[in-house]
Amino acid sequence: MERLVKSGPGWRIGWNPHAPEFKGLLGTDDWAVELTEAELNDFCRLLAQLADTIKQIATELMDEEKIACEAESDLLWMEVEGYAHSYSLRFILNTGRCAEGQWDNSAVPGLLQAAEMLKVF
């Protein structure tokens, strides 16, 4: 497998299986952070969990009702916030170098789809 970087309006996600330590990449047009394989795996897994949770509770929410939902592992913390059909995403990396990032609601659908297609976890 070769190096792979997917991007769209307001988001980037990447995977380089040949990198010695930081095989993953997350970012926007304005920032980026490299992740270890385990961190990227957790990011993709937790993002999918959060998206599934939002889908499951969407039927119980009124259209104008906002929601915030969190998920975390030993490596990172994540939160989605907004409406069931449109929400922002935030993460905080809890490992030695620590990093924080955020995507607005218009970027999340593309990032979610790309993360599901990386198939690294």
- pLDDT tens figures, 6-20: 999 999 999 999 999
| Residue-level pLDDT at 11 | 98
CA 85, 92, 95 angle in degrees (round to 5)? 145
Report pTM. Answer: 0.92
| Residue-level pLDDT at 87 | 96
Can you list the domains of the chain with their CATH numbers? Answer: 4-118 (2.30.31.10)
| Residue-level pLDDT at 96 | 80
| Residue-level pLDDT at 119 | 63
| Residue-level pLDDT at 52 | 95
How many residues does this entry show for the chain?
121
| Residue-level pLDDT at 1 | 67
* Residues in the chain where the model's pLDDT stays below 50: 120-121
